[in-house]
């Protein structure tokens, strides 16, 4: 589910909610752990909220990286376990270019 909102400062804030089945990359790490990767475009001067809903999978770690053009910065506003089965990451793209950002979750059944 994708949702775009505008905050009081006029900055756009896009939100997505994904589950384990929608991962672009799924990698079995052994011992009941799995890595899930999702890729999204974050528009210029926008906030982006990524929420992983694990179902039976319990996230133990989450992160993000800029998939290309790492010469310009982006900021993680927050990156945390929201509930026992959900992980949330909020990234801000302060540049004038759209950026491809990959989000990764390590989870265990």
Q: What is the pLDDT of residues 37-64, one digit of tens each?
A: 999 999 999 999 999 999 999 999 999 9
CA distances from 46 to 14, 59, 87, 91 (A): 7, 26, 20, 8
CA distance 17 to 38: 11
DSSP 43: -
Taking the model in full, what pTM does it have? 0.87
Return mean pLDDT, the chain. 90
* Complete domains list, the chain, with CATH: 19-46+56-108 (2.60.40)
Q: Whole-angstrom Cα distance, residue 76 to residue 65?
A: 10
Question: What pLDDT does 107 receive?
Answer: 98
* 45-to-57, 63, 66, 83, 97 alpha-carbon distances in Å: 33, 20, 15, 28, 8
Contacts of 47 (CB under 8 A, 6+ apart): 7, 11, 12, 13, 14, 77, 90, 91, 92
Q: Is 30 left (phi over 0), alpha (psi -120 to 50) or beta?
A: left
pLDDT value of residue 43: 94
């Amino acid at each position: 589910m994708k949702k775009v909102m505008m905050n009081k400062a006029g900055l756009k804030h896009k939100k997505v909610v994904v589950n384990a089945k929608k991962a672009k990359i799924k990698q079995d790490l052994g011992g009941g752990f799995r890595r899930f990767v999702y890729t999204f475009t974050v528009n210029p001067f926008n906030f982006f909220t990524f929420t992983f809903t694990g179902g039976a999978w319990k996230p133990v770690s989450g992160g993000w990286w800029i998939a290309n053009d790492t010469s310009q910065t982006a900021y993680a506003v927050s990156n945390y376990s929201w509930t026992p089965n959900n992980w949330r990451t909020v990234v801000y793209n302060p540049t004038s270019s759209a950026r491809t950002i990959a989000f990764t979750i390590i989870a265990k059944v």
